[in-house]
Structure 1
């Protein structure tokens, strides 16, 4: 069922009627501080039992494990940890229509994901169980915790603008047996029709694949709508927000949508964008809530408006394991053995058929009872070319702090090492697309260096006395260059699910971006 004209506004605020239902959903998490272990073991038993009849279940004896009082020990012994490439052949069988392979039944939806590597795409199964018990449940949890924390909300007096992707895919497949595309496309396509009463744009517009067509269509559908909430990846939504502002002839997003009250965001760190969004919205009523949602699952939600760490969702058809980062030969541990303050790589076993699967994400644990986390970065997103061990978490915090100090804002960036050559030492090169350029880029670079030294002792040691590492270098990147790179690595696909890797330990991405910049510069010279 498609929604009515997006310019039609709701005549009444339904939030007081709907809020008690969502608050009840949020309250179920109150006991997790005491019952986290029991909840997670129950999830593991349920997963093992439901998958016992499929190929992977028969291979590892899931039926027997599910009957154990504590199945975790046996699960660790029998089931090996795995990367996506070890599953690719089985997933392709599922795409071709085979059933009972990694999960029970036939899977008809797959989320295409390149992670942040820009490499060969992954196709994550989106089973009926994971769609209902994880992805949609996670979205409901996010709304529930927000409404519980904000009793004055008028969320359901208007509509939500949800920025999603499309079913464009590298397999060129869109058949009745399987649909492959962005996870957000599946979520929009399969959503309960009642939700369309509170959403903009219509499904056809939301699922357009060509962003040169989609962006103006999004603006046309939403600029005059009564929008109270927005959802999406911060970098991509910023582009849409600025087009909305331009179309309405106003200075801020809150002038275009006076009742806008919350941005549900995820996918990348919000820190580099926080100040720009604050500038574009009414701080007296605007809230920013982070979700940890990925193609593999909806993992965590921010449940406190004053605390940016997120509550790990432990009853969502996922069993979690964690490998401590920086510890030699560290073995996975379950949720109930986490240490506060430590950084871990996260593994999941879930109803999408991923078993002891390396997500590639690292998280920092802020609380253990219940577990609250923040995303620290990707396991492959770091720079350690000179022994500096610079992590994505350090970069995001440093960029955010320096933007706040200088009044600058960043749309996109990536950093890579420049290796020693001749008499010059190695350094980090930061390619930055500005939302608002700082008055002095050299000063920005100096402040960034100082902030990184404050946040990371290894980086500080390598920079001390400039003995091993020269100061960082910033290269201005014009608007559109990062998008051109994303377009190239996506085989012509551009959209809100593609992300620019923040840090790389080699120069593949940086040189590719600079190559695009050089070609643009050359074209400009030819025109003159």
Structure 2
């Protein structure tokens, strides 16, 4: 056994035991975080505006602090950017994480010296739990890809600012620096395809043991390195032990990724965002991701169907129920308060608290009152694909509203690795699957208001070409699964027949 993997074993066991203990104290930990946040927050401009010093209970807090999205929160961010101190949290942030919003343009999310550990330690804990449970520590001795945005940072209001992954790159522990690929210089390349070619060049002759990134990026990397070498990934990297992924549901990409590898590999799913690292897969044998209940974040939840109501139901962790779809609201030690991050989750367990991410609040189709969410379309397509032996590369769905002749329907744009033998029969299977998952959609089909969905095949690499055309190829950029309008698919139609 080599040095790093030897040292990793006892450390992994220790951290794993601590996480197991934390499962039993989740509600107590959340209560303590709530009190600590109020103690610091009451001394800020935000705290004074919302009288946080007078808040004694969670009910008080809900009355004092409304739910806000970034646009509503922005005036406070602008004060921080202007150089003012003690606005949302004590002092000033040590970083701004720069991220693109669908409606707000560029967003600047504060990261404090107290909150940076949430981002760094949670990623570490996910790997250590895997080591402790599986006994696989050998990958610590090989080369590891931690794909990031450019680690070069600009300054906004004298605060270092960049993509979260680029910021985190500066905090990779020193003991992993010698294992980390690609190089700092390569990570600084902005142009995606140039960067990808350089990553292939730097890694093709290395002993890669772990690869981390969002699934579409992994697939592009695997395709490119296989083109260069003419080999399957398992033959290029025989010691590749684990794939770490997050950002989008892994299931639509899994079959093609493992086909590219040439074998099935263990995977670790994570749930990081600029606003916080919310959950991670702590076990290979349990469904869902363990909620990060003791890492500087106090969580709130709103039933997803109520999130746009004037006075939605708003609950803390102790009142969540298994199987319900919630919008996730956070309060953290970087100064975000009542902050709607835009994601929806569903609890699969409350002992311990484990979740699955079900989609984005704004990524749904309800053009006809059906409120179809991402989890439902992914299930519907993948179930049909598995039954038919079909592999899906990428897909998105939009409404086709007919105002003259004919009935409206959902139009699915799908890029197939191998197309079904009978597209009409395949589409009907997908439609029936969706009807079984969503009663509102089923009612619209049964009532003859909508006709069954139609599938429009996208040319090979059509989604890549589309993302390139809009300047969003690579990195952490993702194709929305669902839209309520046709802006995306009207552009994507260039890559269909």
- Alignment of 1:259 with 2:239, yes or no, is yes
Paired residue secondary structure (1:219): helix
Cα distance in 1 for residues equivalent to 2:103 and 2:390 = 28
Aligned pairs for 1:471-482 within 5 A: 471-482=452-463
Correspondence 1:438 to 2:424 = no
Counterparts of 1:281-296 in structure 2, within 5 Å, are 281=261, 283=263, 286-296=265-275
For residue 393 of structure 2, what is the aligned residue in structure 1? 411
C-alpha deviation, 1:481, in angstroms: 4.1
SS at match of 1:204: helix
Asked if 1:499 is matched to 2:478, the reply is yes
Q: Which residue of 1 aligns with 2:85?
A: 99
Partners of 2:81 and 2:157 within 8 A in 1 = no
Q: Secondary structure at the match of 2:212?
A: strand
Q: How many Å separate the matches in 2 of 1:364 and 1:268? A: 15
Per-residue CA distance 1:64-114 (angstroms, 9 max, x = gap): 54xx5xx42322222222111012232233234333221222224222223
Summarize the alignment of residues 1-150 of structure 1 with structure 2, pairs less than 5 Å apart: 12=2, 14-63=4-53, 65=55, 68=56, 71-115=57-101, 117=102, 120-132=105-117, 134-150=118-134
Aligned counterpart in structure 2 of residue 227 of structure 1, from 196, 208, 214: 208
Distance 1:218 1:85, change over 3 A: same
- Cα displacement string for residues 268-296 of structure 1 (whole angstroms, at most 9, x for unaligned residues): 11110111122233546x10121111111
Matched with 1:200 is 181
Indicate the residue corresponding to 1:157 in structure 2: 141
Any gaps of 5 or more consecutive residues in structure 1? 1-10, 522-528
2:9 and 2:137 in contact (8 A); partners too:
no
User: Following the alignment from structure 2 to structure 1, what is the Cα–Cα distance between the partners of residues 175 and 370?
Assistant: 52
Is contact 2:52–2:64 with CA below 8 Å preserved after alignment?
A: no
Residue 85 to residue 288, structure 1, CA distance change in 2 (3 Å): same
Kept in 1: contact 2:234–2:263 (CA 8 A):
no
For 1:319-334, list aligned pairs within 5 A: 319-326=298-305, 330-334=312-316
Report the Cα distance in structure 1 between the residues aligned to 2:184 and 2:199, rounded to whole angstroms. Answer: 11
| Aligned with 1:339 (options 321, 330, 353) | 321
Q: CA deviation at 1:484?
A: 4.7
> What is the CA distance between 1:253 and its match in structure 2?
1.6
Equivalent residue for 1:308?
287
SS of 1:376 mapped into structure 2: strand
Deviation by residue 1:285-330 (Cα, 9 ceiling, x = unmatched): x101211111111111111212331110101110000011336854
Match of 1:400, SS state, is helix
Would you say 1:242 and 2:223 are equivalent positions? yes
User: Which residue of structure 1 lines up, in the alignment, with residue 257 of structure 2?
Assistant: 277
Q: Secondary structure at the match of 1:102?
A: coil
Does the Cα contact within 8 Å between 2:26 and 2:294 map onto a contact in 1? no
TM-score (norm 2): 0.92
State the SS of the aligned residue for 2:109: strand
What stretches of structure 2 of length at least 5 have no aligned partner?
none
Per-residue CA deviations over 1:360-398 (Å, capped at 9, x if unaligned) read 111111111221110011111111222322111101112
Paired positions, count: 494
Contact 1:52 1:58 in 2 (8 A): yes
Question: Would the alpha carbon gap of residues 174 and 483 (structure 1) be closer, same or farther in structure 2, given more than 3 Å must change?
Answer: farther
Separation of aligned partners in 1, 2:488 and 2:263: 36
Once the two structures are overlaid, the 10-residue window that deviates more, 357-366 or 51-60, is 51-60
Relative to structure 1, the CA distance from residue 199 to residue 308 in structure 2 (aligned partners, 3 Å threshold; closer, same or farther) is farther
Query: Do the aligned residues in 2 keep the contact of 1:95 with 1:107 (CA within 8 Å)?
Result: no
User: Contact 2:151 / 2:170 at 8 angstroms: preserved in 1?
Assistant: no
CA distance in 2, matches of 1:26, 1:53: 36
Deviations 1:1-32 (A, max 9, x none): xxxxxxxxxx9363232122122112222234
2:109 and 2:275 in contact (8 A); partners too = yes
Shift in alpha-carbon separation, 1:108–1:436, aligned structure 2, 3 A = farther
Question: In 2 relative to 1, CA 174–56 (structure 1 residues): closer, same or farther, beyond 3 Å?
Answer: closer
Deviation at residue 249 of structure 1 after TM alignment:
1.8
- The answer as to whether partners of 2:436 and 2:442 remain within 8 angstroms in 1 is yes
SS of residue in 2 equivalent to 1:321: strand
The CA distance in 2 between the partners of 1:302 and 1:35, in whole Å, is 18
Q: CA 1:81 to 1:387, structure 2 compared with 1: closer, same or farther past 3 Å?
A: closer
Take 2:390 and 2:155, find their aligned partners in 1: how far apart are those partners?
A: 43
Task: Assess if the C-alpha contact under 8 Å between 1:32 and 1:369 holds in 2.
Answer: no
Q: CA deviation at 1:493?
A: 5.1
Cα distance in 1 for partners of 2:370, 2:408 equals: 11
